[in-house]
């Protein structure tokens, strides 16, 4: 706050208090003579007249007490511009004290899970109940209560991970945050090139698109998109380039949504939670996020195992 505004606020506040003192003194003034006993204000209703009498003494003294209280308050606490008060109180200091008090009580609850691994925590029912509350308070506003995401915020309850879905990668994403940049390519591609690349990307996830557009779009894709998303379109977790073949779309998978992403680019940011939540809470939260898709991971592993067993049986049969 500038010194000019500080003085302006201080003068206005003190002038109002002085005006209240003057008003009390003026209304408490006694009228001389007998005539004052029957002097009216001129207001009359249904034969009743309002007499012009001073305010009762008890009321006036109560008013004086409130004025004295207000002056003492302004001396002790901030209220006159940039003056901080003799006690040095501030809303920020009060908030920090309350946070510290709460932290002292709840920190041991999270510390007891710090030595457990993320997969182990994901199977711990009590820990996951706490993790669910952490997620609801800090993550659900973007990713949804069930982790299913919404337009612009990824689904973290499936098994498609832009930055990797291992316990360590999830922990790092939450702790340090992520920033993804899809550069706008509309000017470089032109209208025809934009249509072609859009058709090719649309086709990568198994959907039909005009064959001639797909073929020309593949050539443009290899020259402008392959460095990030890979030759097969399966992305690059190290760069945060998403998989374009699994039909999981953060910004929408319709033709128009894909075209918008290619033409205008995207700027995705996951804010770091290290300073806000601390290491122990992030560790527990990472375990909860990991648990959201752990059943899908188990199903995939089971499918891989059954495929390997079938291949082994076929090989054995050929040998026999």
Which residue did the predictor score with more confidence, 292 or 52? 292
| DSSP string covering the chain | --HHHHHHHHHHHHHHHHHHHHHHHHHTPPPPSGGGGG-EEEEEETTEEEE--PPPHHHHHHHHHHHHHHHHHHHHSS-STT---TT---HHHHHHHHHHHHHHHHHHHHHTTTTS-HHHHHT-HHHHHHHHHHHHHHTHHHH-TTS--BTTB---SSS--SS--SHHHHHHHHHH-EEEEE---HHHHHHHHHHHHHHHHHHHTT----HHHHHHHHHHHHHHTHHHH-TTS--BTTTTBPPSSS---SS--SHHHHHHHHHH-EEEEE---HHHH-HHHHHHHHHHHHHHTHHHHHHHHHHHHHHHHHHHHHHHHHH-
- Structure-model confidence comparison of residues 34 and 227, the more confident one: 227
Q: Would you say 276 and 134 are in contact if contact means Cβ atoms under 8 Å apart?
A: no
- State the helix-helix crossing angle for 125-138 and 279-292, rounded to 10 degrees: 100
Instruction: State pLDDT tens for residues 148-172.
Output: 999 999 999 998 999 999 999 999 9
User: In the prediction, which pLDDT does 50 show?
Assistant: 79
Q: What is the CATH number of domain 101-177+272-297?
A: 1.10.760.10
Q: How confident is the model at residue 310 (pLDDT cuts 50, 70, 90)?
A: very low
CATH 1.10.760.10 residue spans of the chain: 101-177+272-297, 180-270
Residue-wise pLDDT tens digits, 279-304: 999 999 999 999 998 766 555 555 55
What is the pLDDT, as a whole number, of residue 311?
Answer: 47
Which CATH number is 180-270 given? 1.10.760.10
Structure tokens at 279: 């290491």
Q: What is the pLDDT of residues 76-93, one digit of tens each?
A: 999 888 888 999 899 899
pLDDT digits (tens, 9 = 90+) for 112-144: 999 999 999 999 999 999 999 999 999 999 999
Phi (first) and psi of residue 218, to 5 degrees: -65, -40
């Amino acid at each position: 706050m500038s010194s000019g505004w500080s003085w302006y606020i201080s003068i206005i506040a003190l002038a109002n208090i002085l005006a209240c003192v003057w008003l009390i003194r003026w209304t408490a003034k006694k009228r001389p003579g007998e005539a004052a006993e029957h002097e009216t204000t001129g207001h009359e209703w249904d034969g009743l007249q309002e007499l012009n009498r001073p305010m009762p003494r008890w009321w006036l003294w109560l008013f004086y007490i409130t004025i004295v209280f207000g002056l003492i308050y302004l001396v002790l606490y901030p209220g006159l511009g940039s003056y901080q008060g003799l006690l040095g109180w501030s809303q920020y200091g009060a908030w920090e004290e309350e946070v510290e008090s709460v932290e002292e009580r709840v920190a041991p609850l999270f510390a007891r899970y710090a030595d457990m691994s993320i997969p182990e925590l994901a199977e711990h029912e009590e820990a996951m109940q706490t993790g669910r509350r952490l997620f609801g308070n800090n993550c659900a506003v973007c990713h949804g209560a069930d982790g299913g995401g919404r337009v612009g915020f990824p689904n973290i309850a499936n098994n498609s991970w832009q930055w990797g879905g291992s316990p360590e990668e999830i922990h790092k994403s939450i702790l340090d945050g992520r920033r993804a940049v899809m550069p706008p390519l509309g000017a470089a591609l032109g209208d025809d090139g934009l249509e072609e690349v859009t058709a090719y990307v649309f086709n990568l996830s198994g959907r039909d698109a005009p064959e001639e557009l797909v073929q020309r779009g593949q050539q443009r894709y290899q020259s402008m998109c392959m460095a990030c998303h890979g030759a097969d379109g399966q992305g690059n977790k190290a760069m945060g380039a998403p998989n374009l073949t699994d039909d999981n779309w953060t910004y929408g998978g319709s033709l128009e949504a894909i075209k918008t992403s290619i033409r205008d680019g995207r700027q995705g940011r996951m804010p770091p939670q290290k300073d806000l939540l601390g290491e122990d809470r992030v560790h527990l939260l990472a375990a909860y996020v990991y648990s959201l898709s752990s059943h899908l991971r188990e199903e995939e592993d089971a499918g891989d195992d059954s495929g390997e067993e079938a291949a082994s049986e076929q090989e054995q049969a050929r040998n026999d």
